[in-house]
Amino acid sequence: MKRIIPAFVLILLSGVWAALPCRGEVYSDRVAAVVNGSVILVSDIHRHKNPFIRNLVDLGLNIVPPGKWPTEKEILDELIVIRLLEQEADKSGIKIEEAEVDSTIESIIKRNKITHDQFVLHLAVNRLNYSDYRELMKRQFKLRKLMQREVAQKMPLSEADAQEYFKENRNRIDEQFKELQQSLAPSRSLEPTAQPEIPTHETIYTGGKIRLKQITLKIDPAERQKSKANVAAKAKRIFQEASTGADFGQLAKKYSEDNLAGSGGDLGIMDYKDLVPNLQNLVQRMKKGDVTPPLGAGQAVIIFHLADATGRQEKKIPIPQAVRKRYEQELEKRRKEIEAKRSANPERGGDDPDLRPGTDTDKSAPVKNMGILNTDEAKEYAKARHKVYFVLTNKTREARAKQWIEELKRNSIIEIKI
């Protein structure tokens, strides 16, 4: 997948964001475990200590006991199960459409009433970059679809089951419901959460030879406002395609409106020193494979792709104090907003999009007595029915998932290396 370059990356803040302790945290990459030939590294364990990531990747496996922060062994156990599920999903041919992931992220952004750049900043505060977040979301969709097929669909519950459970646990339903809600709430680290530091320098790449490709969309000067809006919408769609793995050259042939379209938008191999200053400033913050968001260029909008780069020198340059100060203020503002939302709605993890398991039962639906409950019990059951289904569904799902995962383990080769 081509790496996405958010808009604020292109105005120097890219170096700040990229330098935050996200994926770039350095740990020993010793092998922690091998699952059917697939390696899990020690760095994977450390990465999954991040509370934000833990909340995002929660599949309700209950490997870690509710109410405690996981040990490294428990995290490794989780990662082993996740790897087994990934392998099973691949065997089953489960596919997730890129558009499904993109539309979900867009809905998250809209629901929280923030811009795309603010969302990227929110991820940075939680030590995660956009590309990794998107991949985690895609993996979650795939594994949830697998779990739905292998667990939820193989454990049908009847009204009689629910009434039997209520009769046996009548005096404990409220307690069980409350405990389950608390166990499904995001875990909180027992240690202070590491806060990202604003770096003093950013990395740029100068010199060498550059090969850029571009897609140009022209704005009609006769109907500038209308044309500008249409071009912006089209450019956004093209950018989404380009940033999620589509061949940039083919996109250029299909959409570009300049004389390079036929050659896939290829600008050819150029010396960095021969580029105009604005283009130097752009490419020095790009790595091979990067795609820029749509950029205004007078009567056109352009999207660039760094197809190749050789012989470049890596440099660390100071980030202006004013830029660091603005970024620091924005981080603090977003951090406060995130904490406020988490405090206001702890069982949902603030504005985190991951929905917790619930019940599909309709509270207002009439209840048919299956001959299991007496008159008083039936009246009480009608009021608590949604809680009963919530508790029973999760208990049954957990038991079925545990049984199925144990089967996967027995049929796999798992080697623990630490």
CATH number of 226's domain: 3.10.50.40
**Do 285 and 243 belong together in one domain?**
yes
Domain boundary among 265, 298, 318: 318
**Do 221 and 102 belong together in one domain?**
no
**Do 276 and 135 belong together in one domain?**
no
- Per cent of the chain over pLDDT 70 is 76
pLDDT higher than 70, residue 378: yes
Is residue 80 in some structural domain? yes
Is residue 97 in some structural domain? yes
Condensed to tens digits (0 to 9), the pLDDT of residues 277-321 reads 888 988 998 888 888 888 887 788 999 999 999 999 998 888 888
Is residue 20 in some structural domain? yes
Condensed to tens digits (0 to 9), the pLDDT of residues 14-50 reads 333 333 333 333 334 578 899 998 888 888 888 888 7
pLDDT higher than 70, residue 358: no
pLDDT of residue 43: 81
**Do 292 and 247 belong together in one domain?**
yes
Domain count, the chain: 2
Query: How high does pLDDT run on average in the chain?
Result: 77
Is residue 81 in some structural domain? yes
- Per cent of the chain over pLDDT 90 is 17
**Do 270 and 191 belong together in one domain?**
no
Q: Is 49 exposed, middle or buried (0-12, 13-18, 19+ CB in 10 A)?
A: middle
pLDDT of residue 270: 94
pLDDT, average across residues 340-357: 45
Is residue 62 in some structural domain? yes
Domain boundary among 301, 318, 335: 318
**Do 281 and 373 belong together in one domain?**
no
Domain boundary among 271, 296, 318: 318
pLDDT higher than 80, residue 337: no
Quote the CA–CA distance of 144 and 150 in Å, as a whole number. 10
Is residue 384 in some structural domain? yes
pLDDT higher than 80, residue 174: yes
Residue ranges making up the domain that contains 273: 202-318
**Do 38 and 172 belong together in one domain?**
yes
pLDDT, average across residues 175-179: 83
Q: Give how far Cα 379 sits from Cα of 93, 94, 173, 178, Å.
A: 46, 44, 15, 21
CATH code assigned at 150: 1.10.4030.10
**Do 305 and 233 belong together in one domain?**
yes
**Do 254 and 164 belong together in one domain?**
no
Number of residues that make up the chain: 418
pLDDT of residue 207: 94
**Do 141 and 239 belong together in one domain?**
no
Condensed to tens digits (0 to 9), the pLDDT of residues 249-286 reads 999 999 999 999 999 999 999 999 999 888 898 899 88
Condensed to tens digits (0 to 9), the pLDDT of residues 202-235 reads 788 999 999 999 999 998 887 777 778 888 888 8
**Do 164 and 258 belong together in one domain?**
no
Is residue 251 in some structural domain? yes
Quote the CA–CA distance of 127 and 342 in Å, as a whole number. 17
Is residue 332 in some structural domain? no
pLDDT higher than 90, residue 70: no
What are the structure tokens assigned to 115, written together?
């811009």
pLDDT of residue 357: 35
Residue that the structure tokens 């046996």 belong to:
168
Residue 198 pLDDT level (bands cut at 50, 70, 90): low
**What DSSP letter does each residue of 343-402 carry, written as one string?**
HH-GGGTTT---PPP-----TTSPPPP-SSS-HHHHHHHHHHHHHHHHHHHHHHHHHHHH
Residue 345 pLDDT level (bands cut at 50, 70, 90): low
pLDDT of residue 366: 60
Residue 183 pLDDT level (bands cut at 50, 70, 90): low
From the list 129, 136, 123, the residue with the least C-alpha distance to 338 is 123
**Do 217 and 175 belong together in one domain?**
no
pLDDT higher than 50, residue 353: no
